[in-house]
Amino acid sequence: MRNLTGLLFAGGLGFMLLSIASGLDFGAPPMLVGEAIQSVAPQETGATNIVTSVVLGYRGIDTLGELSILFAAAAAAGLVLGRRHTTAGTLTEGGFVLRYGGAMLFPLLMTIGFYIIFHGHLTPGGGFQGGVILAAAFFLPLLARPGARLHHGMLSMIEGFAGSSFILIGLVALAEGEAFLQPMLIQDTLGQLVSAGTLPLLYLAVGLKVGAELAGLLSHLAQTESEA
């Protein structure tokens, strides 16, 4: 009975939405803004990856808001789960492969992460994706050695300074008389690593922050003593 209700509900909702959405023109979006951005983005931001120029330039404040959400979620999770850094009893010590593999993977992951972050304005990828990899790099030792503590002070330093430097870069533009978060220092060398002015810096901040945030979250989830 329950499943039937669910089926009816889901089916009804889906069908209704579908009947509306089928009126849309699939594959030929109006793209008013998208078209406009595509034509000027490389010149205005110096990034070949237009998604990056949207994320950090045209919609920079969205990204700032998103970083704040992540920060808020991490802080709230910290608040909920408390600060007790007891070693995890639920996770068992990793085996040989995990331990040594983890140790070996750590520099590799760090390199990949930073590479993805720094090439975010040129190729797919960027701060979020790189940040996740950084988080994985930070978290891996924890998985391998439950006894090892993640350095929380370090982590919160990184997240604090990364987040605030994102804002600071924006504020510098404001102080220069430009608008908040206006891209600066754009070189006329499209396609090069240094072409996009402040964008890679912003992405670095994003990546570090995301990495630190997620690593903190994961360690919170993994570390706190289970009371159940």
Partner 1 sequence: MNSMVVLPLVLPLFGAFLLPIIMRASVGVGLWVGPAILLYGCWILGNQWISGTAMPFSLAIGGFAPPMGINLYVDSLALLFALAVQLLGLIFWPFKLDPETARRQALMLLLVAASTGLALSGDLFNLYVFYELVAVATFGLISASSTGSAYAATIRYLILSGIGSVLTLLGIALIYSQTGTLNLAHLAQLAPEQLNNKLGLTAFLSILIGVGVKAELFPVNTWVPEVYATAASRVSAFLAGLVSKLALLIILRLLVLIFHQQEAIQVMLFLGILGVVSGELAAWRAKDMRRMLAFSSIGQLGMIFIALSIPDQAGLLAVLALSFHHLLVKSGLFMLADGWGGAIENLRGAAKRSPLAAIVFILFSLSLIGMPPLPGFWAKFTLITELAAQTSPLYLIGLAVFLLATVIEAAYLFRLAALLYRPVSEEKPIDTIPKPAGVSLVSASLFGVGLLAAALFITPVGELLNHVAGQAANAELYIDTVLAGTGGGR
Partner 2 sequence: MTEIELWIAALLSLTVLSAAVLVLLVKNHIAAVAAASVVSLGLALLFVLMRAPDVAMTEAAIGAGLSSLILALALRRLGLWQIDGVKSRQNLIKAINGVERDA
Partner 3 sequence: MTPTIDLELILYITALGLISIGLAGVVLSQHLFRMVLALVIAEAGANLMLVLAGYRWDAVAPILTSLGEHPQMVDPVPQAMVLTAIVIGVGIQALAVSILIRIRQRFGTLDRHEVAAHMDAEIAQIAGTSRDMSQESPLGERPLPPLPGTPAASREGRS
Among 49, 53, 63, 198, the residue binding partner 2 under the rule CB under 8 A is: 49
Among 38, 90, 189, 192, the residue binding partner 2 under the rule CB under 8 A is: 90
Residue 51 in contact with partner 2, rule: CB under 8 A: yes
Q: What are the residue ranges of helices labelled H in 119-196?
A: 127-144, 152-175
Residue 177 in contact with partner 1, rule: CB under 8 A: yes
Residue 228 in contact with partner 1, rule: CB under 8 A: no
| Contact (CB, 8 A) for 41 and 187 | no
Residue 217 in contact with partner 2, rule: CB under 8 A: yes
Residue 128 in contact with partner 2, rule: CB under 8 A: yes
Binder of residue 4, out of partner 1, partner 3, partner 2, none (CB less than 5 to 8 A by kind): none
Residue 179 in contact with partner 1, rule: CB under 8 A: yes
Binder of residue 136, out of partner 3, partner 2, partner 1, none (CB less than 5 to 8 A by kind): partner 2
Cβ neighbours of residue 107 closer than 8 Å, sequence gap 6 or more:
none
Which tokens hold the place of 80?
């909920």
Q: How far is the CB of 55 from partner 3 (least distance, A)?
A: 5
The secondary structure element, H or E, covering residue 77 is helix 60-81
* Measured CA angle at 181 (ends 178, 184), to 5 deg: 65
Which tokens hold the place of 52?
């990056």
- 54: which DSSP letter? I
Cβ neighbours of residue 74 closer than 8 Å, sequence gap 6 or more:
159, 213, 214, 216, 217, 220
| Contact (CB, 8 A) for 207 and 68 | no
Residues that bind partner 3 (CB under 8 A): 2, 5-7, 9-11, 13-14, 17-18, 21-22, 24, 26-29, 31, 33-34, 37-39, 41-42, 48-51, 53-55, 58-59, 62-63, 65-66, 69-70, 72-74, 76-77, 80-81, 123-124, 128, 190-191, 210, 214, 217, 220-221, 224, 226-228
Which tokens hold the place of 89?
């009893």
